[in-house]
Amino acid sequence: MKQLIYLFAMAFLFTACNVTDKVKDKYLKEDEIRTEDILAEITGEKKNEPIKDTTVNPISKKELKRLAKEQKRREKELAGDTLNFFEKNFPKKIRRDSIYSKVYKELPRSIFVVYPWNRSKNQYGDKLFLTALTKELSIKGYYLFPVTSLDEHAKMDTLFNSHWLTAAKTPLIYKEYGADIALFITIFSINKEYWSTQTEIVADYTMISTHTHDTLFHRQATFSYRSPFPLKDKSEDSFWESSKEMQIYEAIEQMQHYVFLDFPYGPYHKEYLKDKKKFSHSNYMNYKISIIPD
C-alpha cells in the first residue's frame, strides 16, 4: 500500500512539474543532433547549420496603431481619396460669384422654361414640373413666361419640348420670346408607391444663355421626399384629383426649391446682386437629397 502511494506521488510530481516534457526536450534534441551527424558522415553532405535566433524587439501598441494608420492613409491615397475628415465634412465655402460668374456678367432678367421632356411613367409629370418651376423661379425674382400659353403651344406642336428643342436653338428662343435664359429639363422618373409616403424624383436641369450659348447652370438631382404623416386629405373645394397627386406635387415643389437654392436672385428680388458672397454648390453637380419633414 505504501509503495502504491509513493508511486502515485511520483507520477503526480512528474506530471505537475512537467518533468516528462523537459526530459523529452533534452534527450530527443540530443538524439536528433546525433542522428544528423551520423547521416552527414554516411552521405558526406554538410550538416545544416542551425539558424541562430535574431533579437526581436516587440512593437509597442502605439507603434502598431501608427503603422496601421499609415497603411490606411496609403490605401486612401491610392484610391484617390485625399481629403481629410474636416475637408470632407466641412467643405470650403464656395461663393456664388465664382460659380455663377457668367450669370452675374450677363444679368439675365427672364427665364424661358422649355417644355420639360417627360421620360417618367407619370403622365402629368411635365405639367407638374412646369407649374412648380414657374412658381419657384418667380419667387427668385425672374420673369417667367405664362404656363397656359406655353402648354397650349406644346399641345399643338409636339416638337416643342426639351427633347427636340436643343441648345442650338436658343437664339430662336431669344428672337421669338425675348428670353435671356432657356431652361431645359428632362424628367427621368417620378416614383410614388401607394403604400408609402416616400416620393422619388430624378431630373436633369440645364440653363443655357440665349445670347452667348454658355451653360449657366447644370444639375442632375435625385430627390427623395417623405410626406408628413398622417397624409393631408384634399378638401372639397380643392382641384387636386387625389391626395397622391398632391403629395407628388409637394415633392416636386420641394425639389425645385432645393435645386435652385443657390441660384442668384433675379432683378425683381430685393437681394438682387447682393448675394454674390453667399454660399453656392458647384455649377455642375449630381446630388441626392432626402428630406423627411417633421
Partner 1 sequence: MRKFIILSVICFAFCSCNKALYLHYNYDELIYTYVKGGWSDKDNKKIVKQYKKIVDVPKGKDIIPPPGSCADYGFMLFKQGDTVKAKEYFQKEILLYPESRSYMNKLLNDLDL
Query: Which residues contact partner 1 by CB under 8 A?
Result: 109-110, 124, 127-128, 130-132, 134-135, 138-139, 141-149, 151-152, 176-180, 238-240, 249, 253, 268-270
For 9, 211, 264, 275, 277, the CA distances from 271, given in Å and listed in that order, are: 99, 24, 9, 6, 12
Cβ 136 vs Cβ 102: under 8 Å? no
Closer residue to partner 1 in complex, CB, 134/247: 134
Closer residue to partner 1 in complex, CB, 218/278: 278
Q: Residue 177 Cβ, how far from partner 1 at the closest point, in Å?
A: 5
Q: Residue 107 Cβ, how far from partner 1 at the closest point, in Å?
A: 12
- Kind plus residue range of the DSSP H or E element containing 255: helix 243-259
Residue position matching grid coordinates 440645364: 206
Report d(CA 133, CA 219) in Å as an integer: 14
Start-to-end C-alpha separation, the chain:
88
Closer residue to partner 1 in complex, CB, 127/244: 127
Q: Residue 138 Cβ, how far from partner 1 at the closest point, in Å?
A: 5
| Number of alpha carbons in the 13 Å side-chain half-sphere of residue 180 | 15
Q: Residue 71 Cβ, how far from partner 1 at the closest point, in Å?
A: 53
Report d(CA 279, CA 110) in Å as an integer: 23
Please state the φ and ψ torsions of residue 267, each to the nearest 5 degrees. -65, -20
Closer residue to partner 1 in complex, CB, 99/208: 208
Cβ 203 vs Cβ 248: under 8 Å? no
The SS3 call for residue 64 is helix
Q: Residue 140 Cβ, how far from partner 1 at the closest point, in Å?
A: 9
Report d(CA 64, CA 58) in Å as an integer: 10
Q: Residue 194 Cβ, how far from partner 1 at the closest point, in Å?
A: 20
Closer residue to partner 1 in complex, CB, 132/201: 132
Closer residue to partner 1 in complex, CB, 125/219: 125
